[in-house]
Chains A and B, each alone.
Chain A
């Protein structure tokens, strides 16, 4: 069965640089979620999209933005990166608000 795809799997950036993370949800899933997991912490919700419209927003910094495209893939854009942005970023997808399926994550390291 198809799973959620995330790219890249690993990313190393310098402070103040920008990064773009991509997510390809499971086919026919209509909702995409982004979560951030810092070292030793539980995942924290950032933002979600339902049918390409932003549906919910969590603790997402103003430096971050996201969108969902017509093919349902989503991108998380992060600017002016800080050391504290180093984390594992998960994308998840679901059909409506039911079971969420998580991708393998993108590990971002900011130096």
Chain B
């Protein structure tokens, strides 16, 4: 989607390895979010950020960490990947509380 890109688009990794997913925006939006989407669970919030170096946990944050050192980049790290973290990960951005979210195209992560 315009203004927001996720990388990589697909990744296969082994259990126990660290993995970092990147979300990059060119919109200068304040808020950035990481969600995971799984069948039967819908979209669930992992972590979010409301500014540079300002982050907080979401509903399913265990096993994940994030960093935001620049407005445009929001990184999601799986310190030691597990099979339960196999999912599709979406990044989203928002400018103000009255805006809809703009989502990235997603990263399909498979942990084997």
A binds B: no
Residues of A within 8 A of B (CB): none
Residues of B within 8 A of A (CB): none
